Structure 1
Amino acid sequence: MGKRKKSSRKPAAAAARRKQPLDTTFTCLFCHHDNSVTVRIDRKEGIAQLACRICDQRYQSKVNHLTEPIDIYSEWIDAADAAQKEQETARRTVASSSRRVPAPPSIGSDDE
């Protein structure tokens, strides 16, 4: 029995298994500039910092050994949505409480 010859063609499955690199720059939620948001991860300190170089929006989060820049960007989107919803509910309560309350009828008024 002899050795098999190596095929010069790679199987299609091997090509599909290649890792696609994840994005490291993103679109800003506030100024909408493409590739203006960058994420820096300091694994030793356990902190990630996200910053837009155009409008200077910033976000900071804790990281672990599996955290990637896209994870921090997703957390930033979620935090911005939560802040917007909280602000909307605060506006509703302020608007409803700013109405004047009718004065109660006075007892023993001088009109009698």
Structure 2
Amino acid sequence: MGKRKKKSKPPPKKKMKTLDKTFFCPFCNHSDSVECCIDIRNLTATAKCWICLESFSTTANVLTEPVDVYSEWIDECERVNNNVGDDNDN
């Protein structure tokens, strides 16, 4: 008598890592103190630090994630710091 053939099992699905929702504050240097909130109805997104109360607001869309808001805030901080350094050379 022959053995039963095994049915091939589909490969297990990889779990996607969840993105962070709290971040490091560039002003007060506290970790996990910046929270990003996205309001889809008003198409706004804000990142606010609980410790030093610094905040950043930008426009949002359906695809916006908290990490996107935080990275825009960091980019804006770098842009402002680079412009300040250029003005001091005059």
Give TM-score scaled by structure 1 length: 0.70
Deviation at 1:69, TM superposition (A): 0.1
Equivalent pairs: percent with the same residue? Answer: 35
Gapped regions of structure 1 (runs ≥ 5): 94-112
Of 68, 75, 90, 1:78 maps to: 75
CA deviation map 1:75-110 (0-9, x unaligned) = 0010000000000111111xxxxxxxxxxxxxxxxx
State the one-letter code of the partner of 2:19: L
Whichever structure has more helix as a proportion of its residues is 1
Structure showing greater Rg: 1
2:20 corresponding residue in structure 1? 23
Extract unaligned runs of 5+ from structure 2. Answer: 1-5
- The answer for the alignment partner of 2:85 in structure 1 is 88
Question: How far apart, in 2, do the equivalents of 1:6 and 1:83 lie?
Answer: 58
Richer in strand (by share): 2
Instruction: Between the two structures, name the one with larger relative contact order (CA 8 Å, sep ≥ 6).
Output: 2
Paired residues in the alignment total 87
Q: Superposition RMSD on alpha carbons, in Å?
A: 2.1
1:98 maps to none
